[in-house]
A and B are shown apart, each in its own frame.
Chain A
Amino acid sequence: VGWRGPGANDPEAAVGAVIARLLAGATDTRLPAALQSGESPVLSVQAGWDSRRDASFLWAAAAPRVEADSAQVERDLLTAVRRLASKAPDGAELDQARKRVIVPMLFGMQSPRGRANALGEAVWLNGDPAAAQQRIAAVRRVTPEDVRRFAERLLRDDAQAVVWLRGTTPATEDRP
């Protein structure tokens, strides 16, 4: 599932990156906790934030087991993501998510190539190379209420898309 969001220059764009890391990418995040506890019908979960100049995209994905009720998995996935709009993260949860955004950015900026990539991305996305540095500061400033408010703004039905990918075995006559 995914939601269309504001462009990279939106003042709250950094919140989107934090939301993605609140949802997945580590053991203590929301999607594994909601969809993968106990005898779970879900094999794996992922989430990400894809930021572009004019728009951005929050996505979350679940891979159900073959025998699972995939419609129920979809409902559970949507519920878990939308819960961000009603239940803001606590301090520790948010702190970890912020770190998971910042640490890869910092390690990526060690080398000249990494710094050049960060600067180039900032120029293309924001029209300002200083945005590379400002992005880190913006992530550090994200508060629990920022997350709840941005989630409320972002997770609207009219901005939502749902895609199912079904594994199929091609019929014999269709095989090359």
Chain B
Amino acid sequence: MKRLWCVLLPILALVPGAVLAETPPALWPAPVVTRLDNGLVVAVFHNPRLPVVQVQLAVPAGLAAEDSTQLGASALAASLLRAGTSSRTSAEFQRDLDRIAGVFATNVSREMALASSGFLASDFEAGLELFSDAVINPVFPDEEFEVARRSAARQLGVSRSNLTTIADERVWMAAFAPHPYARAVGGTLGGLLTMSRSQLQTFHRDHWRPDRATLVIAGDVTPERALAGAREWFGRWTGTSDPLPAPPVDSPRRGRVVLVDLPGTERAEIRLARIGPGRESDASAAWSVLAQVLNDSGRLPHGARASWSSLPGAGLFVLAAGAPADSAAELAKALVAAWSRVASRPPSPAEAAAAAEVQARTLPFSLETLGGLSTAWQAGRVAGLADDHLVRAADRVRRGAEAAAIESAARAFAAAPVIVVAGPAERMRDALATLGEVELQPLDESVVPPPAEPPPSPEQLARGRELVEAAVQAHGGAAKLDALKAYLFGGEMVIHNPQQEISGLFEQLRVEPYRLSFLTKILELSTRQVLDGDRAWAVTGSDPPQYMDADSAGVVGLRAVFESDLLHALRFAREPGAQAVWRGTEQTGARPADLVEFRTPAGARVRLVLDGASRRVLALDTAPSPQGVWHDRRWFSDHRLVSGIWFPFREERRVDGTKVSTFRMRTVVVNPPVDEKLFRKPGDKR
């Protein structure tokens, strides 16, 4: 610190009055507020110290506005505002933004979505027109939608690898579920992968509306000029937005330990939490002061932090800490003890006053930038605070330190918190059980537990059986399929990697029961995998060939491959125990396709996608999540008749929407002569 001052003091001494005179200290007066005829509230903070303007729109289109079938829609919709409008392509929007050297950004929280733009004050009208076009008229083009959806899914995957992020998200879930505040920013993989462009358009139509939105215009623009611009570019905006859900109630998980299992991790993250008053309540300030006291007073275990997040209707108080997995239970106990002491030994008036003073004095730092000022004002406005709430913000913080307020907040800590621990469950479970009933959660995509699927109706079962029979008939009939004892097929294959595509050749011979020879030639490398009942082996190269026996997992894998073809799927679907169920329709190409789900003899869930007219199988879905998201889909096309059976000559596999492989058949031979030598490993005496 001493060295820093050695640098700073000479600099400050050299600052001439002229520089500071041009950038006077910021002031936060109440804004000039006007409500347009369409309900849009426009607030103008006139601040001429720099020749720039920032405009920021807040709409009730955050996580709380999402439908449970659209998880991730709020962030995706916001990110695509600049991807094209009814009058500009994405490139044209960027070009026009570049011409004024403007910036455009969006941000989504649980309570609201924000879009903002900054530019020179001299470009105010041009910038506001561009901004209004993005937020009012986005079209969510197909291509950009797909790119953004995949990017969001990838981002979600990255965040899944971060222990701190997982713990932070899960504590909100544990505290607030089933209220929408439980949702994770960015949504869920399932929500993103099943979301359609039209759902996004609907989300924008229902929530990006003027009646409950606020537009802040801050910077070097007079209220008159700002309001004229707002009327010009936002006055014709119409519609009303859907109401937000009711405030949440206290969590049913209090007193329980939610253990998020992350096998293989060495560390654990621990969170203790409880719901508190909403931002609109004066009591909220006391909770914020409590967090400050805990952080400043040494009342918490080493490395632990307290935080208070306030939203409209409710807030969340969290104690957070991390530790090696083997120490997690001990640390959790120490945190619980610190939690209880808040109630039994509340902060003294002096401690509370000092903490409040720190918050009151640092408050201006968050309001120094036009963006910070806009966000703080809009956050208060969304919670129902008065237009001049920022003027009194510091006083409000200081009132939070008053004895009655602090004592009232501290009493809430007498009740047990929600406890969330993320880490390797096996190593922590028993020790954590001393803190309360342990509720084990896998690291899955669920933010709110999935609804139990209702049992299929007799009509769904009857329709499912009927459609399976129709599909079998469409592929040649039961007699032909049952007579198929072996078939040989081959052609070209392409593996689609993110970096490059790899092409090769393949040939498969399938012989009932469970005999498979799968030959691939990729980049001069030839590999043949062989399954022969309950054993398997592979041979690679030819000079000399390298043989390798498969372990039990390899055998299971090849048996699964053997059963995974379309013809086995049709056979399995017909079996009495398959419980084929009609699951509605899906728009596939020009017409709806029927979805029929069944279980294989091994108990796996598989779904057929049947052409609405021909009843041929268009796709096969596997690997469903508990939420009903099917991760793995193989598309079949180019059906051709071979020996009375309709085979697909093209198969494209997609995992979570991303194309991973394509197989193009050149030959299919039904019941060919089988060369037994193919299944015999050289040197094998069996």
Contact = CB atoms under 8 A, between A and B. Distances in A.
B101 A119 contact: no
B15 A129 contact: yes
Interface residues of B, number: 31
A83 interface: no
B368 interface: yes
Contacts of A54: none
Interface stretch (A55-63, A110-118, A156-164): A110-118
A134 to B, nearest CB: 9
Given A27-B94, A102-B120, A112-B365, A96 B101 contact: yes
Interface stretch (B17-25, B298-306, B600-608): B17-25
A123 interface: yes
A108 B51 CA distance: 12
A96 B99 contact: yes
Contacts of A107: 50, 52, 103, 118, 369
B120 A103 contact: yes
B95 A103 contact: no
Nearest to A132: B19
Given A103-B120, A110-B369, A133-B22, A28 B98 contact: yes
A43 interface: no
A34 interface: no
A31 to B, nearest CB: 14
A112 B368 contact: yes
Given A28-B98, A99-B101, A99-B120, A133 B19 contact: yes
A168 B50 CA distance: 48
Contacts of A111: 365, 368-369
Nearest to B499: A66
Nearest to A21: B101
Nearest to A101: B101
A68 interface: no
B14 interface: yes
Contacts of A128: 14
A111 B18 CA distance: 18
Given A26-B98, A28-B98, A133-B19, A103 B52 contact: yes
B95 to A, nearest CB: 5
Interface string B265-303: 000000000000000000000000000000000000000
B477 to A, nearest CB: 50
B101 A106 contact: no
A100 interface: yes
Contact of A115 (B16, B23, B52, B118): B23
Interface string B330-366: 0000000000000000000000000000000000010
Contacts of B102: 103
Interface string A106-149: 11011110011001100100001110110000000000000000
Contacts of B98: 26-28, 96, 100
A102 B120 CA distance: 9
Given A99-B101, A111-B365, A106 B11 contact: no
A28 B92 CA distance: 11
Contacts of B115: none
B119 A103 contact: yes
Interface residues of A, number: 24
Contacts of B379: none
A103 B53 CA distance: 10
Contact of B19 (A99, A103, A129): A129
B100 interface: yes
B170 to A, nearest CB: 33
A130 B120 contact: no
Contacts of B18: 130, 133
A129 B16 contact: yes
B3 to A, nearest CB: 14
A103 B370 CA distance: 14
A106 B52 contact: yes
B431 interface: no
Contacts of A106: 50-52, 120
B368 A110 contact: yes
B118 to A, nearest CB: 6
Contacts of B16: 129-130
B21 to A, nearest CB: 10
A63 to B, nearest CB: 14
Interface string B97-129: 011111100000000000000111001000000
A119 B11 CA distance: 8
A53 to B, nearest CB: 15
Nearest to B367: A111
Interface in A160-176: none
Contacts of A115: 23
B91 interface: yes
Interface in A15-44: 26-28
Contacts of B119: 103
Interface string B610-642: 000000000000000000000000000000000
Contacts of B99: 28, 96
A151 B551 CA distance: 68
Contacts of A120: 7-8, 11
Contacts of B101: 26, 96, 99-100, 102-103
Contacts of B22: 133
Contacts of B370: 110
A140 to B, nearest CB: 11
A121 to B, nearest CB: 10
A167 to B, nearest CB: 11
B14 A123 contact: yes
Contacts of B10: 123
Nearest to B123: A99
A130 B91 contact: no
Contacts of B368: 110-112
Contacts of B52: 103, 106-107
Contacts of A133: 18-19, 22
A119 B19 contact: yes
Interface in B17-66: 18-19, 22-23, 50-52
A110 B101 CA distance: 17
Contacts of B118: 103, 107
B91 A27 contact: yes
Nearest to A98: B101
Nearest to A115: B23
Contacts of A119: 11, 15, 19
Contacts of B19: 119, 129-130, 132-133
Contacts of B15: 119, 129
B4 to A, nearest CB: 11
A112 B23 CA distance: 10
B122 to A, nearest CB: 9
Contacts of A28: 95, 98-99
A119 B102 CA distance: 24
A107 B47 CA distance: 13
A27 B22 CA distance: 33
Nearest to A26: B98
Contacts of B95: 27-28
Contacts of A116: 8, 11
B11 A110 contact: no
Contacts of B50: 106-107, 109-110
9 contacts: A99-B101, A103-B102, A103-B103, A103-B119, A107-B50, A107-B103, A111-B368, A120-B11, A123-B14
Interface of A: 26-28, 96, 99-100, 102-103, 106-107, 109-112, 115-116, 119-120, 123, 128-130, 132-133
- Ranked nearest first, the 6 interchain pairs of A and B with the lowest CB-CB distance are A99-B101, A26-B98, A103-B101, A111-B368, A110-B369, A100-B101
Given A109-B50, A116-B11, A129-B11, 12 more contacts: A26-B98, A26-B101, A27-B91, A28-B99, A99-B101, A106-B120, A107-B118, A110-B50, A112-B365, A123-B11, A123-B14, A129-B19
